[in-house]
Amino acid sequence: MAEGTTIKPGDTDILIVVDVQNDFLPGGALAVPDGDAVIEPVNRLAGAFRHVVLTQDWHPQGHASFASTHPAKQPFEMTELHYGPQVLWPDHCVQGTPGAEISRDLDIPHAQLVIRKGYNAGIDSYSGFKEADRRTSTGLAGYLKERGFRRVFCAGLALDFCVAWTALDAAEAGFETYLIEDASRPIDTDGSLEKTRWDLEAAGVRVITSEQIADI
């Protein structure tokens, strides 16, 4: 994008607010460093978009991505699941628990859809579009296409996992895709943030700041 130009969100643009849930915020089970810093920019951004979708990480107890499910494994270690390598996490965003609730500090009453993900016990899902087996769809691409959206803007938690994977899948699904960096924060475990930057660039995802959005 040329310097100085701003993007004015319109009717074919959608903001996806990823996983701004209590467990990813300070005091939560998988707190993202400085995670609460996304709330203010996300709320401001959401005010500039007529169309907003939220994602919600939503795991059953005993989920395959939880270290506690695997004997002798610790959080942030790797394991192999049937679809490939998987980071193991502290138990988080368990269905129906307070930690899984979307933060009450989000002020987006006009959000049109909440897409839950990670509900299959044996498969993780960082992306709001496709689970980690890279086959099972959440249906989000079909929903966005049927509604005629062309550009997808992603923000929320965590930049190097669920926000990035959502943006990468949006690009793969054919949307012009943006990741709004100051409205996102990373976990940054084992080089994940640097790898993410390469992946985003290779996929043509445009990493921008909220200042580049008009009227916020």
Walk across the sheet containing 113-117 and list its strands: 113-117, 52-57, 13-18, 151-157, 176-185, 206-208
Tell me whether residue 104 is exposed, middle or buried, using C-beta atoms within 10 angstroms of its C-beta: 0 to 12, 13 to 18, 19 or more: exposed
* CA dist., res. 211 & res. 121, Å (int): 39
> Is 73 known to be catalytic?
no
How far apart are CB 207 and ligand VGL at their closest, in Å? 17
Contacts of 93 (CB under 8 A, 6+ apart): 19, 21, 23, 24, 29, 30, 56, 57, 58, 59, 99, 100, 118
> Is 154 known to be catalytic?
no
Binding of ligand VGL by 89 (CB under 6 A): yes
Q: Hey, what are 102's tokens? A: 């979307």
Which one from 117, 124, 130, 169 is the annotated catalytic residue?
Answer: 117
Binding of Zn ion by 57 (CB under 5 A): yes
> Is 19 known to be catalytic?
yes
Question: For residues 13 and 19, which CB has a smaller minimum distance to ligand VGL in the complex?
Answer: 19
Specify the stretch interacting with Zn ion by CB under 5 A; choose among 21-29, 37-45, 80-88, 118-126. Answer: 118-126
Q: Hey, what are 182's tokens? A: 């100051």
Question: For residues 48 and 167, which CB has a smaller minimum distance to Zn ion in the complex?
Answer: 167
19 binds, among ligand VGL, Zn ion, none (CB under 5 to 8 A by kind): ligand VGL
91 neighbors 68 (Cβ within 8 angstroms): yes
Q: Which helix (H) or strand (E) holds 207?
A: strand 206-208
Binding of ligand VGL by 158 (CB under 6 A): yes
Question: For residues 66 and 175, which CB has a smaller minimum distance to Zn ion in the complex?
Answer: 66
Residue 35's closest CA among 187, 180, 164? 187
Question: Total residues contacting Zn ion (rule CB under 5 A)?
Answer: 2
Specify the stretch interacting with ligand VGL by CB under 6 A; choose among 7-15, 96-104, 153-161, 195-203. Answer: 153-161
The interface with ligand VGL within residues 34-73 (CB under 6 A) comprises: 57
Q: What are phi and psi of 186, to 5 degrees?
A: -90, 160
Binding of ligand VGL by 161 (CB under 6 A): yes
Binding of ligand VGL by 115 (CB under 6 A): no
With CB under 6 A as the contact rule, the residue among 16, 54, 132, 162 that binds ligand VGL is 162
* CA dist., res. 86 & res. 132, Å (int): 9
Length of the chain: 216
Binding positions for ligand VGL, rule: CB under 6 A: 19, 24, 57, 89, 126, 157-158, 161-162
Give the footprint of Zn ion on this chain (CB under 5 A): 57, 118
Which residues are the active-site residues?
19, 117, 162
